Structure 1
């Protein structure tokens, strides 16, 4: 069984190695229902007990697959997180998604961060999951990165004045055990700490072997407030696993060069770059879990192999000596 770590000041504990299901939903390339459930089953068999999903992943498909794969397991033996902020509505036209995503299920997205929207989202997730309990509820993709500054100012006000009341009510009533925000940017998390208490943030791609900017601001705040971090996208959209994508797009030259330098140090110690990337975030005590999102069972199994590799201390020392780690970044023991 994997090491477990606490979520904020709650009684929840998650396996430090979890499963992200964004890719498994089939929005970026075709993943069948059987293949998706197979990934979840492989994770369970490997001892993973933290599973993260969302209505947006496969416009409902990921929640169906997670629920179907895990429904018969002891519900007290594992932790589930899903998200709010998007409602799914029937898609009656055949127009492709404007961002090029596939639509495994016939739905379109409507953003709603209000009290009523969040309550409706939770009820809809119960139905898709076919489960009676959600442990962690994240507000999904709020922030200027997703909406632009002007639109996000409106969404953030709605969350602050209305939606957070729903989250607080759900937690105080025992419907969920922890509340948080799941995004790709640190700035909105810093803003959110200014108006509410949060148990955990799911931060994708911003605290990794490649990027450690949150050490300057967000992470010290999380330590002060008792807020955990779950790290999504620990491979930075694939560039730390040998692909050319970073932040869901083609990596710019500066990023490519920095990765090349990190990889050279890893190669000198005969350690795959992805192995170092999967282990690095967990060295920080604020981080509760890393949740890579594999595309298939073989990729999940490869991630397990990489995650469990022994990494010599000299690798981290050499990365620091080359100026490739933040001065305050803790490294694995």
Structure 2
């Protein structure tokens, strides 16, 4: 298979260069529905075959399953691939009766324990190396810290762990060259403003908050990233599926106001002959902070569908029409200007 040529963008101020399209590893681990192991590995291989050079995984995904599956492929094809994983959860072996599977179908036999302390960050990193079977992880994200996951009171002691030692561990790993970039991987932008108070970060993986449907992170977060030289990887570009014909938004059934906005955006896309998912995939890249868009296909066929949307031509008038109809937040960068 002939690899295509993707644009590459720099990660923060590091030497890392990532293709603007990446591969997320959550769906491959079987969230909501099962994904056979061979199919998951074939999807990773296909992504590399077509020229994608950035893949993301995490201990949480399938409770270790995603890291194992990605490692199976990357051990044979590690060169020139940028790999990210995450810290903040340690995996504890449990019996089937004790296990909390959450939304994972057929996860590995572990429960997760949140811990953002210095020792836990170091252990989590080493555990990920073991599960992947790889020595090198390029980007390390702090995973799911914030009130959306833990609540206001629940997050306070966890944030104290990060501020009191976890950030120091990440800095040590980066300063020693063990990892090349550090950041946070979350579903809420507000906690990332708090992170800027702790120090400097290279890249943030933000899911769902800077998409064709929602630009709540535009200011002050995205503008601060430009000022501080931090990049953004846009996870969840389809907002849990609502932008590809599904009914979920933020991992739950979409409320009526969200459905109505999606229909309005879709009507504009139809006017210009552009598939809604194509517009959703391509939208984030106009922002100068964004280095990568990270969908999560479950199969090589789904990835091929994404590539079709990626290649679709989107006329500039589509974006200006969305802006004129008030379907993009004021100040949103679009080709040729802002909304």
Corresponding residue number in structure 2 for 1:70: 74
TM-score, normalised with respect to structure 2: 0.96
Corresponding residue number in structure 2 for 1:128: 131
Matched, 1:61 2:90: no
Q: Distance in 1 between matches of 2:235 and 2:320?
A: 25
Corresponding residue number in structure 1 for 2:241: 238
Matched, 1:16 2:20: yes
Corresponding residue number in structure 1 for 2:151: 148
Shift of 1:308: 1.2
SS in 1 for 2:27: coil
Q: Distance in 1 between matches of 2:226 and 2:303?
A: 31
Corresponding residue number in structure 2 for 1:176: 179
Match for residue 162 of structure 1 among 154, 162, 165: 165
Shift of 1:67: 1.0
Equivalent residues in 2 for 1:25-104, closer than 5 Å: 25-75=29-79, 77-95=80-98, 97=100, 99-104=102-107
Corresponding residue number in structure 1 for 2:281: 278
CA contact (8 A) 1:18 1:290 kept: yes
Deviations 1:104-147 (A, max 9, x none): 21111011100100100011111111111000000000000000
Shift of 1:218: 0.3
CA contact (8 A) 1:27 1:103 kept: no
Match for residue 111 of structure 2 among 90, 108, 127: 108
Q: Distance in 2 between matches of 1:233 and 1:292?
A: 6
Matched, 1:305 2:290: no
Shift of 1:328: 1.0
Unaligned 5+ runs, structure 1 = none
Q: Distance in 1 between matches of 2:28 and 2:309?
A: 20
Unaligned 5+ runs, structure 2 = none
Shift of 1:332: 4.1
TM-score, normalised with respect to structure 1: 0.97
Q: Distance in 2 between matches of 1:301 and 1:230?
A: 21
- Which 4+ runs in 1 deviate beyond 6 A? none
The change in CA–CA distance for 1:2 and 1:100 in structure 2 (over 3 A counts) is: closer
SS in 2 for 1:97: coil
CA contact (8 A) 1:279 1:332 kept: no
Shift of 1:94: 2.3
CA contact (8 A) 2:25 2:66 kept: yes
Aligned residues: 332
Shift of 1:305: 0.7
The change in CA–CA distance for 1:87 and 1:313 in structure 2 (over 3 A counts) is: same
Shift of 1:74: 4.7
User: How large is the RMSD of aligned CA atoms in angstroms?
Assistant: 1.2
Q: Distance in 2 between matches of 1:243 and 1:277?
A: 14
CA contact (8 A) 2:99 2:109 kept: no
The change in CA–CA distance for 1:101 and 1:268 in structure 2 (over 3 A counts) is: same
